[in-house]
């Protein structure tokens, strides 16, 4: 089938707009993706649509054409809003299209904190200039700016902007509490926010602005995705985490993270080998071959227990990885910054 060729791509996009009948949009979207043999995940809500889909180049191009001609998105969605990377239908296990309350799960009613109250959007070029200025000021110890990564810890661990503050949170729905618990940190600051494709910043910046403590809130338009298209060797170092079977895409050869077991440079995630666990683990080939394939010793033990018992009992996901992590970390105002300099 011409739409199943191996050389395809994965698209990432979102569109905030008023959707009167989310169920209807959802059914249309599902039919469209099936027709084009696309796999992936699409979230529909009364506040808009958010999707990441994979398929052949022919299919993804058709998909963009159809999306741009859909009356709902007319004059709001444009070609630039689609971020693409090499991949295909094989990057996702299946197709999931559903109706949700929010198109990005921040856990706060869109009526209370709306995407309409977002920060100031900066193009990759403008953002690049801002980061450059921030890094040179920070190196002299005199910056009124915070470069904020609003992704999860396992995303920023393998790639981030130099000098960023990367919250040690596991889900975006913890982000609002993170802001609440660390308001002092943001007082009178200029905040430069970024995420993968821009969508988390739309609501995250609106939330931060609603607290009325920052001097200004800026966000990277199109996210790291668009930034790397323009600046593959810019201030973002390491890989870009993606939510599909690839786990990461790369624009430069930098490896900034290490194997959990031996500390060798390593940034390729695997799922923890323990059946019940959903944690991602960085374990290098040599540690893997020694059987170190779980996220932590507790999980490794559980795995052995289950295999030796051979019983179908399910153990709930609880190990030292989850237990040790504070749900909402409190930053010390001396601001824990990710390494600013290039090594």
Which residues are part of the catalytic machinery? Answer: 195
- In angstroms, rounded to a whole number, what is the distance separating the alpha carbons of residues 15 and 301? 45
Query: How many Cα neighbours within 13 Å face the side chain of 274?
Result: 28
Residue with tokens 């982000």: 175
Residue 92 neighbours by CB under 8 Å, 6+ apart: 39, 40, 41, 53, 54, 244, 245
Q: Is 243 exposed, middle or buried (0-12, 13-18, 19+ CB in 10 A)?
A: middle
- In angstroms, rounded to a whole number, what is the distance separating the alpha carbons of residues 9 and 195? 20
- In angstroms, rounded to a whole number, what is the distance separating the alpha carbons of residues 40 and 95? 5
Q: What is the CA radius of gyration of the chain?
A: 21
Task: Let me know how long the chain is.
Answer: 343
């Amino acid at each position: 089938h011409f739409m199943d060729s191996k050389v395809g791509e994965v698209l990432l996009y979102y569109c905030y707009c008023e959707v009167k009948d989310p169920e209807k949009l959802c059914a249309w979207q599902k039919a469209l993706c099936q027709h084009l043999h696309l796999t992936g995940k699409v979230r529909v809500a009364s506040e808009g649509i958010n999707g990441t889909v994979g398929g052949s180049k022919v299919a993804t191009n058709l998909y963009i054409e159809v999306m741009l001609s859909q009356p709902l998105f007319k004059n709001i969605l444009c070609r630039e809003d689609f971020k693409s990377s090499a991949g295909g239908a094989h990057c996702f296990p299946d197709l999931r299209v559903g109706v949700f309350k929010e198109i990005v799960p921040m856990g706060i009613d869109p009526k209370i904190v709306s995407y309409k109250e977002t920060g100031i959007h900066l193009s990759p070029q403008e953002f690049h200039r801002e980061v450059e200025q921030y890094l040179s000021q920070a190196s002299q110890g005199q910056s009124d700016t915070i470069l904020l990564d609003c992704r999860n810890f396992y995303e920023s661990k393998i790639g981030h902007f130099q000098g960023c503050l990367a919250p040690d949170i596991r889900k975006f729905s913890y982000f609002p509490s993170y802001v609440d618990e660390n308001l002092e940190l943001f007082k009178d600051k200029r905040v430069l926010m970024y995420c993968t494709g821009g969508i988390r910043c739309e609501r995250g910046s609106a939330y931060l602005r609603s607290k009325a403590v920052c001097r200004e809130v800026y966000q990277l338009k199109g996210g790291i995705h668009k930034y790397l298209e323009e600046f593959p060797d810019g201030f973002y170092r390491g890989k870009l985490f993606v939510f599909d079977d690839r786990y990461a895409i790369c624009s430069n050869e930098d490896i900034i993270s290490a194997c959990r077991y031996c500390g060798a440079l390593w940034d390729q995630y695997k799922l923890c080998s323990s059946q019940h666990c959903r944690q991602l683990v960085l374990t290098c080939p040599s540690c893997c071959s020694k059987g170190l394939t779980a996220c932590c010793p507790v999980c490794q033990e559980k795995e052995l227990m289950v295999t030796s018992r051979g019983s179908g009992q399910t153990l709930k996901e609880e190990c030292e990885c989850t237990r040790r992590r504070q749900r909402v970390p409190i930053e010390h105002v001396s601001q824990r910054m990710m390494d600013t300099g290039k090594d």
